[in-house]
Structure 1
Amino acid sequence: MDQQQLDGKIISRGKEFFESIKGEAPSIFNKGFWTGKVMDWAMKNEDFKIQLFRFVDVLPYLNTSDSLQRHIEEYFTGEGSDEIPSVLKWGAEKSGLFGGIAAKAMGKVIRSNIENMAKQFIIGQNSKEALKTLKKLRKDGFAFTVDFLGEFTVSEEEADAYLEGYLELLDAIAKDQGKWSALGDPGDQDWGYAPKVNVSVKPSAFYSQAKPVDQEGSIESILNRFRIIYRKIIAMGGFMCIDMEALKYKEMTIELFKRLRSEPEFRDYPHLSIVLQAYLRDTDNDLDDLIAWSRAENLPIGIRLVKGAYWDQETVMAKQNGWPVPVWTHKAESDMAHERNARKILENSDLIYFQCASHNIRSISYVMEAAKELNVPDDRYEFQVLYGMAEPVRKGLKNVAGRVRLYCPYGELLPGMGYLVRRLLENTANESFLRQSFADDLDVELLMENPEKTLLRELEAKPKVEEAEPQSGLPPFRNEAMLDFTIPAYREAFPKAIAELRKTCGTNYPLFINGRDVTTNDTIPTTNPAKPDEVIGNICQAGTGEIEDAISAAEKAFTSWRDLSAEERADYMLKAAAVARKRAFELSVVQVLEVGKQWDQAYHDVTEGIDFMEYYAREAVRLSKPRRMGNAPGEHNHLFYQPKGIAAVISPWNFPFAIAVGMCSAAMVTGNTVIFKPASLASVVGYGLVEIFREAGLPEGVFNYCPGRSSVMGDYLVEHPKISLIAFTGSMEVGLHIQETAAKVRPGQIQCKKVIAEMGGKNAIIVDDDADLDEAVIHILYSAFGFQGQKCSACSRVIVVEPIYEKFVNRLVEASKSIKIGPSEDPSNYMGPVVHESQAHAIKEYIEIARQEGNILVEREVPSGGAYVPLTIVENIKPEHRIAQEEIFGPVLAVMKAKTFDEAIDIANSTRFALTGGVFSRSPKHLEQARRDFRVGNLYLNRNNTGALVWRQPFGGFNMSGVGSKTGGPDYLLQFLDPRCVTENTMRRGFTPIEDDDEWV
């Protein structure tokens, strides 16, 4: 049968289908109900839709009438409130008029309506309710697959509870299933072949530490719990389906399925399936791989084919991280992929039991006609739809196909709201088949159109957008891509690069002055903090003599370097960025071994350095163009910049590549020459800059690498009269000392030294009483303990508003107990050693102070040997305590309680630092208050407070957190420049040229 004939049959079947359900609509589109009215408003007004869905998301946390009413007012009053349905607007408007009585009554109505809306899509909040609903569904002729909500687990305790929730439901079903009559058949199985009990499971919920970088560890840990539930299902004669979640879990999910299906214990039990998502571009390959594997193993399998439920998330995450978008970007492409893969599955029906999951009548009709054409027996495929989402479709399907299974979530309302929001977003999108069918009343011919034709029509109608040419002549800046550990080659690259690095451990690293290596007899070893006896490198130390040589070289090179065009200097930085990009893994693993940084954070430190070079190259070209000032006739005024001279760059060990490269490249691209002093604990990383700039062909003397003992050459460098500016990142104490030292004019000094100092932080994250704790716990854990808390931006105080305090703290504590601690070169470890034993000693002293000032909630055991310190969480800390005021620079987190959000802001602002901060809240009013009153350089709302990106989040604070403009921002390079202005009188004997920008004032 050719495609035209097949399409004709599909269209005919679709018309019959629509005719059979004429006049019916899913409840979410039925305007006779409250839900339908609100959804109708949402589809007409995008702003209201966003506010509504956000309100639905936060509703379960609004446990008092006051908080409920406050959020109604915040979400549904103000600008645009004339576009709000009266049932919501009335409740908000009356709050002021009637005090609390009418408002509270309306609040209860709104809560009840939204909760009832959620319950439409959930079969019950407990096993008793769920069982009652399942019995009714079976009585109506529908099979089920049950899915336990609450899959976002942040700790192993929660993962265990999730498993127990499934087992409890299965126990309840086991007692009753014997009483159930089989659907459509007098025997014991539905339709004569399908088990009555069917369960869907989400892998990530069964292991709280699942992550792509630790593929093997994640798979084995999930399998340990999967086996328990699968044995239970097999004992009941049931069926299990492994759901597909976000893309980051795809590879491990497929491998999990293969291992579970092929284990000797389970090989002879055929009732196991996996979900594939048609909207992923790789699904064609994944399906081919599964078919080939299944045939090679001689194992029948099941496949549920869906379109996919995370389209927006996958698209946004890919664009944020600089990755190729992994999903089809047009709905029609996903529909095409669904049909294409459905046919391939049906062609292999001897091997694969097909579960076609869709509400799209075109997709359903395609499967029915393709199965008929291919002579696929009825017992080799079924149809699945979501419970509560497409009632007319499931009714029509049961009439024509008979074999319909409903995907039935059950669980508490709080996680149920998250599920509800996903479903509402999915089905109110402009491209949604249900919306187009039952709300927009699209013509049946168009609804049943071959998606290939739909795609062509959409592409032809799409206007072409041409990008404007950039003024600098360089392509627009884009951040370097984050590392995607779902790609096996990237996971494999780290162990290989670490093994290569170990071959060179113990190498002597020279100074680099005037384009040549310089060795000294004074050397200091740098070591692996996880294995202190492993020497990474022996670093030659500069003394005052070497500093004098370096300054002479920098002075000699300055004039010619200064006089190059900005474009020429920028070109050197772009070449250096290209070198770093080529050597990214090699540069990353040096940090893994030398400072104990985890794989992803080491790699992203390198990419941040690349970003600095790329961004500052463009900024330098922009700033190099003289700017016409004023507009008086008869004169030209031009503002332009020149470099300051020789820059001393003093970098830290915690971001040893990015910060070093950022300060050095900023100084050099603006025409200054550099004396670079790396942190002694990260000097091998620092030597990486030598190799990069040497390969980029930087002229002699422009960049000079001079590691040395601070006691010998630190002050000498800062005080030197020929040093024009000092760029420093490190502790507050050293930063203040540098400022004080640099302020004194030395003999022979001709200019005031410029000091750019990024110093410490005592950063706080506020957790509001309506915060999403699934997000807050994970992000705060990362903010506080990522790279062992050794970031100036790290969260060291979490301030929790009282009503949510106990719930948050309990989840945070359990989450912190679940993470693994050990060498950072092992990707399964969340936390490694701190950078050095001296640092560990200082942090342990603060842990003792914490023990005296508060109550220790968590103090993790750590491996013996190495510079490990316990992950520590302490509560009952007051603003005046040392633990709340002093920078610790380690994995110690103080938990503080605030009665109100106002008090939380006051506590957050109560230190002398002002670097980063964060707020987890779903209150628009409180988020706006934080923007205004939480006074830090970088404020993060509803995300972690570390990991600023060049250009997107210019970084830096004020007060005692530093002096100078933000790195990676539009003002940063100005600090390395002196402005000049030249005025020319253009009038000659009363004659002056008239120019377009002259205006007589």
Structure 2
Amino acid sequence: MSDMNIEQAINARGKAFFASIRGEAPSIFNKGFWTGKVMDWAMQNEDFKVQLFRFVDVLPYLSSADALQRHIEEYFTGGQAGDIPPVLKWGAEKSGILGGLAAKVMGKAIRSNIEGMARQFIVGETTKEAVKNLVKIRKDGFAFTVDLLGEATVSEEEAQAYRDGYLEVLEAIAREQGSWKPLGGAGGDLDWGYAPKVNVSIKPSALYSQSKPVDFEGTVEGILEKMRPIYRAVKAMGGALCIDMEQLKYKDATIELFKRLRQDPEFASYPHLSIVFQCYLKETERDIEEIIGWSKARNLPMGIRLVKGAYWDYETVVCKQMGWPIPVWTRKPESDMAFERCAKLILENHEMIYFQCASHNIRTISFVMEKAKALGVPEARYEFQALYGMAEPVRKGLLKVAGRVRLYCPYGELLPGMAYLVRRLLENTANESFLRLSFAEGEAEDRLLENPEETLEREKAQARKPRETEAGPEGLSPFANFPLADFTEKALREAFPAAIADVRRAAGGICPLVIGGKDVTTADLIDSVNPANPAEVLGRVCQAGVTETGAAVAAAKAAFPAWRDVSPKDRAAVMMRAAALMRERAVALSAMQVLEVGKQWDQAYNDVAEAIDFLEYYAREAVRMGAPRRMGREPGEKNHLFYEPKGLCAVIAPWNFPLAISCGMSAAAIVTGNCVVYKPSGLSSLVGRGLADIFKEAGLPDGVFNFCPGRGSVMGDYLVEHPDVSCVAFTGSMEVGLRIMEKAAKVQPGQVNCKRVIAEMGGKNAIIVDDDADLDEAVLAVAYSAFGFQGQKCSACSRVIVLEENYGRFLERLVKACESMKIGPAEDPRYSMGPVVDPGQQAKVKEFTEIARKEGRIVVERLAEGPGYYAPMVVVEGIRPEHRIAQEEVFGPILAVMKAKHFDEALAMANDSRFALTGGVFSRSPKNLEKARREFRVGNLYLNRNITGALVHRQPFGGARMSGVGSKAGGPDYLLQFVDPRVVSENTLRRGFTPIEDDDEWVD
């Protein structure tokens, strides 16, 4: 059949389909009901829709009438939701002293209606209820696939419960299925003569709480371990299993686990295993081609359920945040076109692939039916699927014309059900939703049945001009963060072990100083070792004494005049070349950190990314600052302000962000025209030497950057007090920072500058967990913030303050999540936590563990075995603000859990610290989030996310109080600390004459 003829057939079938359901509407759009009225309002008002969906999301956590009414007021009054439906407005207006009773009554009604909305999409909250409704569904002529809600598991205990939930419902179905008559009037035990009566769908990531792209093999095997018993039970009852596709980060692992399960000797002869593919992903067509080829090569028949996709917003937003390519089609017609291409490919291979077409789009359904007819595909080789509770007219009409319709039936508790409900509401109310356009907007049938290729061309012709991006400084593109680690990329996963092996092959050599561009060796050597295996020496680092430090200062002083006079643009060019070199060597630079300081793969790679960002960002800022600024507009005078470098800068860097912070402080000093004497930490000097090599290769003149590792007790004070040093940039402990400030404040003989000290010091950072917080997110974020890189970050969470309403639930889940985390060497991606950096850190953590034992009740204490510097992972509850464990910085994997009666007390507890670096709040209360913005007095506050991993430009980093002095790193005023401003004023009036000035010469 020609393309023109098949389009005509599709159009005719689609119009007949519309005619058969005319006058009907899905219940969710029925304005005669509360749900329909609210949904209609949501589609007319975007602000209200946002607030409604957020309220739906938080509703299950609102256990009291007061909490419910408070959230109704916060979400639907004060203009946040724009215009709102009278039913919600009335409930809100009746709140307060006079209308408390009415408000509670209305609150109950709202809860009841929204819970009813959720139940519309859920086949049952209990196994008994689910099985009862599945029986009813079959009596109505529909097959089913049952899916257990609750995909977010934070611990292995929860993952085990998820598995057991499937086994429970399968056992209940097994007792009933013998009495079910086959659908379609077929004989035997199969629906329609060929399909198992029992069909189960499963989200794989929920079966293994430690699933993560970086640990591909561990993720696949961890899921398979729990999926095999489920599939075994499905097979025993003659059923079928379909593995759902979730977020992109799990895609490749999902495909691999499907392959392993399908070819497992126990199941290889059983063909009823399917996998889902999402057509909004650009890679899907290729993935389907590959798996069809795999199936044919092994003669393993399989099924494919084809969907458009349910995580479009998530995938788009996350990839934009991370700097990754957008993986989804950005226009709906492109997804529709991809669906039709993929459907054709599957139908062409119907001998091996059983096709499950999952769509409510009548154009899509018509295409599949006509394409199958044109290709001669037997009806026994494909079926249609629809979501339970959605598009009732479509599924009824489809049952009439196709006879083979399976409903996707989620079941489970209402709490996880709300997340599912929000996804369904988003689908229903999206501007381009087929259901919205056809049943709510009354779009013309011809437009709805249009070939998506034609729709796309029309949309492109009507598209608005793209929004212009912010311009960069002269000669430079706008700043963009370097993409963070994307371990869904196989090439990146495979590059890390190879790079780590390269580091080992080069290990053991001497690492000299670099002074005035020349290598300098000393007799004093320190071994740099792998903290996971201290017997492994990575290199022997020469240590500078007073003599070498003095030589480095002299070399910097000699290089300063020439470097000072280099134009900002040319200095910036060197930084840009250094950034380019780091881009090329990102994995190699990461591998050194993995071995030298014990950073996990993602932590190490993102540290390199931050270093690149500092180079790129400060280069642009220096060019922007480099042009003189006109001050004032009065005639007869010219005033301009410009900056010049301070001179020599001592950069004293930490080991925990060995490249990023070293590079950031050094780059800021260098790009503004200063020369640097760089003292890296003795624990990360090999990483520091890598920075020196990159600067040299980038063309930095000799003497501008001097690599000068040394013992602090020998050369630290000498460097800080040296009269030729005019600036000290330091990141490290509070104790050392305060000593530097004290030493720098004293004027030395021959000193001509007041020393500027820029110091980022410690933190005792708190996360508040409100009584309405999403615990799925809060538990994982707290655990990551506390134990990522063993808690060895100044931004790490060391206190979590939980409102008493949520305290028990949060603590229970946190404990189980921590017990599920794996501890071991950072070079193995299975492990979420590794050793601390040296014996001193190890001893300190052990000391504070005993303090914690005395002050509270330890609920988690885990210690990995092995030769490394492993310190215990500790969670201690019952801690009060006055306790040492709540006040003193440990810089290790110890987390204090504290209880607060209300949000104001939680804020007071969070602020009760001499540190003020980072903090976080998990809350779905707009009022409390706004209060936290005002009153949680830290340098970097994070709402509803983890509190580590600040990004250059987007989240300038730095705190106050004892957390440091100076402007925020990676921010617009950081470079000002390394320069002195000058103003030149010229009188242009001569004998009553002044020239006309060209203002364009000046930057305002």
Aligned counterpart, 2:663: 661
Query: 2:51–2:80: 8 Å Cα contact kept in structure 1?
Result: no
Aligned counterpart, 1:457: 458
Secondary structure, counterpart of 2:527 in structure 1? strand
- Counterparts of residues 362-377 of structure 1 (less than 5 Å): 362-377=363-378
Cα distance in 2, alignment partners of residues 468 and 195 from structure 1: 57
- Counterparts of residues 208-227 of structure 1 (less than 5 Å): 208-227=209-228
- Counterparts of residues 384-403 of structure 1 (less than 5 Å): 384-403=385-404
Q: Cα deviations across residues 593-636 of structure 1 (Å, max 9, x unaligned)?
A: 01000001001101100000000000000111111112222222
- Counterparts of residues 423-502 of structure 1 (less than 5 Å): 423-465=424-466, 467=469, 469-502=471-504
**1:693 counterpart (695, 713, 716):** 695
Q: Cα deviations across residues 533-571 of structure 1 (Å, max 9, x unaligned)?
A: 100110001111111111111111100100010000000
Q: CA deviation at 1:224?
A: 0.8
Cα distance in 1, alignment partners of residues 590 and 263 from structure 2: 38
Query: 1:837–1:866: 8 Å Cα contact kept in structure 2?
Result: no
Aligned counterpart, 1:422: 423
**1:991 counterpart (990, 993, 996):** 993
Query: 2:10–2:367: 8 Å Cα contact kept in structure 1?
Result: yes
Q: CA deviation at 1:995?
A: 5.4
- Alignment length (residue pairs): 998
Residue identity matched to 2:441: D
Cα distance in 2, alignment partners of residues 235 and 187 from structure 1: 17
Q: Cα deviations across residues 766-796 of structure 1 (Å, max 9, x unaligned)?
A: 0000000000011111000000000000000
- Counterparts of residues 588-607 of structure 1 (less than 5 Å): 588-607=590-609
Cα distance in 2, alignment partners of residues 979 and 613 from structure 1: 22
Residue identity matched to 1:626: P
Aligned counterpart, 1:650: 652
- Counterparts of residues 826-905 of structure 1 (less than 5 Å): 826-905=828-907
Secondary structure, counterpart of 1:83 in structure 2? coil
Residue identity matched to 1:474: L
Aligned counterpart, 1:951: 953
Secondary structure, counterpart of 1:681 in structure 2? coil
Q: CA deviation at 1:702?
A: 0.3
Cα distance in 2, alignment partners of residues 821 and 273 from structure 1: 35
Q: Cα deviations across residues 660-717 of structure 1 (Å, max 9, x unaligned)?
A: 0000000000000000000000000110111101111110100000000111100000
Say whether 1:540 aligns with 2:542. Answer: yes
Aligned counterpart, 1:197: 198
Aligned counterpart, 1:69: 69
Aligned counterpart, 2:130: 130
Q: CA deviation at 1:467?
A: 4.9
Secondary structure, counterpart of 2:242 in structure 1? strand
Cα distance in 1, alignment partners of residues 187 and 535 from structure 2: 73
Query: 1:643–1:671: 8 Å Cα contact kept in structure 2?
Result: yes
Secondary structure, counterpart of 1:612 in structure 2? helix
Cα distance in 2, alignment partners of residues 632 and 690 from structure 1: 48
Query: 2:51–2:81: 8 Å Cα contact kept in structure 1?
Result: no
Say whether 1:820 aligns with 2:822. Answer: yes
Residue identity matched to 1:725: C
Query: 2:770–2:802: 8 Å Cα contact kept in structure 1?
Result: yes
Aligned counterpart, 2:620: 618
Residue 855 to residue 203, structure 1, CA distance change in 2 (3 Å): same
Query: 2:50–2:81: 8 Å Cα contact kept in structure 1?
Result: no
Q: Structure 1: state its 5+ residue gaps.
A: none
Q: CA deviation at 1:198?
A: 0.3
**2:794 counterpart (792, 813, 834):** 792
Q: CA deviation at 1:472?
A: 2.3
Cα distance in 1, alignment partners of residues 99 and 735 from structure 2: 54
Aligned counterpart, 2:54: 54
Cα distance in 2, alignment partners of residues 981 and 789 from structure 1: 46
- Counterparts of residues 205-284 of structure 1 (less than 5 Å): 205-284=206-285
Say whether 1:634 aligns with 2:636. Answer: yes
Task: Please report the TM-score for the alignment, with normalisation by the length of structure 1.
Answer: 0.99
Q: CA deviation at 1:71?
A: 0.2
Residue 736 to residue 273, structure 1, CA distance change in 2 (3 Å): same
Q: CA deviation at 1:483?
A: 1.2
Q: Cα deviations across residues 825-881 of structure 1 (Å, max 9, x unaligned)?
A: 000000000001121011100000000000000001311321001110000000000
Residue identity matched to 1:615: Y
Cα distance in 1, alignment partners of residues 97 and 825 from structure 2: 62
Say whether 1:155 aligns with 2:155. Answer: yes
Residue identity matched to 1:104: K
Identity of aligned residues (%): 69
Say whether 1:287 aligns with 2:288. Answer: yes
Query: 1:81–1:89: 8 Å Cα contact kept in structure 2?
Result: no
Task: Please report the TM-score for the alignment, with normalisation by the length of structure 2.
Answer: 0.99
Residue identity matched to 1:532: P
After TM superposition, which residue ranges in structure 1, 4 or more long, deviate above 4 angstroms? Answer: 466-469, 994-998
Residue identity matched to 1:414: L
Query: 1:631–1:997: 8 Å Cα contact kept in structure 2?
Result: no
Aligned counterpart, 1:328: 329
Cα distance in 1, alignment partners of residues 22 and 369 from structure 2: 21
Cα distance in 1, alignment partners of residues 382 and 394 from structure 2: 17
Cα distance in 1, alignment partners of residues 416 and 82 from structure 2: 31
Residue 586 to residue 997, structure 1, CA distance change in 2 (3 Å): closer
Query: 1:616–1:669: 8 Å Cα contact kept in structure 2?
Result: yes
Cα distance in 1, alignment partners of residues 181 and 2 from structure 2: 42
Q: Cα deviations across residues 229-281 of structure 1 (Å, max 9, x unaligned)?
A: 00101111100000000000000100111110101110111100000111110
Secondary structure, counterpart of 1:940 in structure 2? strand
Residue 82 to residue 680, structure 1, CA distance change in 2 (3 Å): closer
Query: 2:472–2:479: 8 Å Cα contact kept in structure 1?
Result: no
The Cα RMSD (Å) is: 1.0
Aligned counterpart, 1:967: 969
Secondary structure, counterpart of 1:244 in structure 2? coil
Q: CA deviation at 1:5?
A: 1.0
Query: 1:154–1:777: 8 Å Cα contact kept in structure 2?
Result: yes
Aligned counterpart, 2:980: 978
Residue identity matched to 2:822: K
Aligned counterpart, 1:750: 752
Aligned counterpart, 1:716: 718
Query: 1:387–1:407: 8 Å Cα contact kept in structure 2?
Result: yes
Query: 2:388–2:407: 8 Å Cα contact kept in structure 1?
Result: yes
Cα distance in 2, alignment partners of residues 364 and 470 from structure 1: 48
Residue 248 to residue 81, structure 1, CA distance change in 2 (3 Å): closer
Query: 1:718–1:738: 8 Å Cα contact kept in structure 2?
Result: yes
Secondary structure, counterpart of 2:980 in structure 1? strand
Cα distance in 1, alignment partners of residues 998 and 583 from structure 2: 45
Q: CA deviation at 1:28?
A: 1.4
Q: Cα deviations across residues 493-526 of structure 1 (Å, max 9, x unaligned)?
A: 0100111110111110000010110111111101
Secondary structure, counterpart of 2:881 in structure 1? coil
Secondary structure, counterpart of 2:424 in structure 1? helix
Residue identity matched to 1:396: G
Q: CA deviation at 1:464?
A: 2.6
**2:740 counterpart (738, 741, 744):** 738
Cα distance in 2, alignment partners of residues 394 and 761 from structure 1: 57
Cα distance in 2, alignment partners of residues 825 and 505 from structure 1: 16
Q: Structure 2: state its 5+ residue gaps.
A: none
Q: CA deviation at 1:108?
A: 0.2
Residue 993 to residue 97, structure 1, CA distance change in 2 (3 Å): farther
**1:808 counterpart (803, 807, 810):** 810
Q: CA deviation at 1:997?
A: 7.1
Q: CA deviation at 1:426?
A: 1.5
Deviates more, 1:185-194 or 1:620-629: 185-194
Secondary structure, counterpart of 1:146 in structure 2? strand
Say whether 1:924 aligns with 2:926. Answer: yes
- Counterparts of residues 306-345 of structure 1 (less than 5 Å): 306-345=307-346
Query: 2:676–2:706: 8 Å Cα contact kept in structure 1?
Result: yes
Cα distance in 2, alignment partners of residues 209 and 181 from structure 1: 42
Cα distance in 2, alignment partners of residues 25 and 44 from structure 1: 18
Q: CA deviation at 1:81?
A: 5.7
